[in-house]
Structure 1
Amino acid sequence: MSCYIVSDLTISAIVAAMAGTGFEPAGLKDEKSGIKYNSATCGQIVGQMLLDANYESVNERYGEQAHAHDFKLTQKADGRPFTLGEMYGCIKCYEYQTCEKPGYELSEIHDVLAYVKDDLAEKMLARLGEESVWGLE
């Protein structure tokens, strides 16, 4: 398996997905300070946290010590919002590139992104006019 540093645009799509979830936007807690940052109001900080984890994964995979660049929250070139498919795909790409970080599967980032993917899937079903069912008999 190989992994790479994802683009700021990819992380920006993830931050947008996090900000658009449910009743309260998904956020992340800074491991050093313990402060939880809301993705809707602190997207720049949340994006940097995501980028830092991605760098840690690539460093782990390749035995490097590279430091993350300064993350820049960005928009698509055409200025349109990210689509559900773009946000969902960016999360899947990010997780593939970041899973080399030790403990990633047990991390808050992994848990939050699982929640966000579920939220996006529900929105996709709604757009298709379908409902999620809780079991079948």
Structure 2
Amino acid sequence: MTAFVVHVEHIHVLLWAGLRDPRLGALRWNTATVAGELQPETASTVGQMLLDENIASVAHLHNEPPAPEIYKYRPPAQRGWTNVELLNALHCYRYQSCEHPDWEGSEAQAFTEALEARLIHRLPGYSSGPWAITPSSVPSAARTRGA
């Protein structure tokens, strides 16, 4: 499979996913040199960083100079995405952006890890199981059958 630069709508959706639940507070990530935060007023800057990273990865794979694009955030055309669909889109973005030597430790990598953690915590049933499992712990499926 050939790497490609994701459509700006893909970036819009990722940013929307990070912005959509303000009760959890701002999505934050850290690298050795950057402390990032996604807020409505930083969405275009964060989106530009994500797009630049994707472009750098594809350029590296094709041994071509990167062709910069200007990014400006806007809410996505569709907003009914499930957390599973958003995780899939995030994994696509990461796959398309991780092919150059500067990915490890990059702000884009840290952003994807922070968004992935947030989306996983939103999955239905994520919090219903025990935090720590002991010999007396019972899986939720077994608890449901026994009721």
SS of structure 2 residue aligned to 1:2: coil
Q: Within 5 A, what are the aligned runs for 1:1-137? A: 2-20=2-20, 22-26=24-28, 36=36, 38-77=38-77, 79-125=78-124, 128=125, 130-137=127-134
d(CA) in 1 for partners of 2:16 and 2:66? 26
Q: Which runs of 5+ in 1 are unaligned?
A: none
TM-aligned CA distance change 1:115 to 1:37, over 3 Å:
closer
Q: Which has the larger radius of gyration?
A: 2
**CA separation in 1, counterparts of 2:129 and 2:95?**
26
Instruction: State the Cα distance separating 1:15 from its structure 2 match.
Output: 1.0
Please, what TM-score do these two structures have when normalized by structure 2?
0.72
CA contact (8 A) 1:54 1:97 kept: yes
The residue identity in structure 1 corresponding to 2:89 is: C
Distance in 1 between residues matched to 2:45 and 2:56, nearest whole Å: 17
* Aligned partner letter, 2:6: V
The SS at the match of 1:105 is coil
The AA in structure 1 aligned to 2:44 is Q
Aligned to 2:137: none
CA distance 1:28–1:134, change in 2 (3 Å)? closer
CA RMSD of aligned residues (A): 2.8
Q: Secondary structure at the match of 2:123?
A: helix
Structure 1 ranges of 4+ moved more than 6 A: none
Q: Are the counterparts in 1 of residues 28 and 111 from structure 2 also a CA contact under 8 Å?
A: yes
Distance 1:61 1:76, change over 3 A: same
Matched-pair identity in %? 24
Give the alignment's TM-score, normalised by structure 1. Answer: 0.77
Unaligned runs of 5+ in 2: 135-147
What's the CA shift string for 1:95-123, capped at 9, x where partnerless? 00001121313223212211211111111
